Amino acid sequence: MDFEPNENQTAILDGLEQLISSQAIEAPKDGVLVAFSEALDAELALGGFLDIAREEEFTLLDAALVVERLARLPVSAEVAFSALVAPLFAADTVQRPFALVSGNALAPARFLTVARTLIVDKGDELLMIEVDPARVEPVESLFAYPYGRLTSLDGLNMQTFGADMAAAVRRRWRLALAVEGVGLMQSAIDTVVDHVTNRYQFNRPLGSFQAVQHRLAIAAGKQQSARWLALRAAWSDSESDCAIAAAYLQDCIPAMVYDLHQFSGAMGLTLEFPLHFWTYRLKAMLGELGGGSAQARAAALATWPDAA
């Protein structure tokens, strides 16, 4: 049991910091809902950060630390699926970026506007669809990810995988969601802590009121809990740990996001305040994989397996 990064992990994270610094990433100030960086996405792929889990000397946990760190940025890139889900498939058989969707292949999916592969979880089987950009229409939403949907499946190349691969992808998708979510939570909390420290009302910083302090402390405790559950899941890659981590994260999102926006007041409703770049990615995650209840049930069934 060791909660500190090892030598490999420290080296990876140091390298990642250098890449992030070189990109001079800032939250967009032009009032946009979505902040996706093609340049960052390309640099990460080029630097090998998205293939870490495929390398013999590295682990899935190492890849998870990369995903977590990048989620703290105000701009998104398709990182979690590439780093944590894609390694289930042979490297030369899949092309990133990826989009994942449950059930209906024509449903809106995160990153589909930039994806080359759409993975569709149909429960007892899995479809892998080669995306034709001409068949993708952007979907506008409040969520801070780029969303798109396929207009039709006619003539698209696709492969079908069986129930085992579908289950494995769901497991890693839960992991991806949990790990990315804790990074988003961290930056959202940091943003609001900074705001309530510097925003004075009644001649006091907002953050000096106990009503604010308690709820932010609870948020911090939940974020840290979610973090260790997610990193444990990356370490074990077990059905139960991945489901527990995702269930916990999704369970925490509504109250935490409510509080973070509440403490930001009207400022948090504007697009010039960067909070939505994290909270509206978290809200997007709330309904993924069937929502928190599906993850909770999966956790229960994986933990007490001879049920049902």
Chain residues that interact with another protein, rule: CB under 8 A: 1-6, 9, 61, 65, 189, 193, 196-197, 200, 203-205, 207-210, 212-214, 216-218, 220-222, 224-226, 228-229, 231-232, 235-236, 243-245, 247-248, 251, 292-293, 295-301, 303-304, 306-308
The least CB distance from residue 178 to another protein, in Å, is 10
Considering the complex, state which of residue 151 and residue 213 has its C-beta at the smaller distance from another protein: 213
Three-point CA angle 97, 105, 100, nearest 5°: 35
Residues paired with residue 130 on neighbouring β-strands, in sequence order:
117
Considering the complex, state which of residue 135 and residue 195 has its C-beta at the smaller distance from another protein: 195
The least CB distance from residue 165 to another protein, in Å, is 24
Number of residues that make up the chain: 308
- Asked if 136 and 113 count as a contact pair (C-beta separation under 8 A), the reply is yes
d(C-alpha 228, C-alpha 64), whole Å: 11
Considering the complex, state which of residue 45 and residue 300 has its C-beta at the smaller distance from another protein: 300
The least CB distance from residue 239 to another protein, in Å, is 12
Alpha-carbon 198 to chain mean position: 29
Burial of 201 (0-12, 13-18, 19+ CB in 10 A): exposed
Which of these, 86, 113, 105, 114, lies nearest to 175 by C-alpha position?
A: 86
Considering the complex, state which of residue 11 and residue 142 has its C-beta at the smaller distance from another protein: 11
d(C-alpha 258, C-alpha 254), whole Å: 6
The least CB distance from residue 251 to another protein, in Å, is 6
Which whole-number Å values give the CA distances from 100 to 23, 240, 308, in the listed order?
27, 21, 28
Considering the complex, state which of residue 248 and residue 277 has its C-beta at the smaller distance from another protein: 248
The least CB distance from residue 298 to another protein, in Å, is 7
The least CB distance from residue 297 to another protein, in Å, is 4
Number of Cβ atoms within 10 Å of the Cβ of 60: 20
Considering the complex, state which of residue 6 and residue 18 has its C-beta at the smaller distance from another protein: 6
Instruction: Calculate the CA dihedral of residues 240, 244, 250, 254 and round it to 10 degrees.
Output: 160
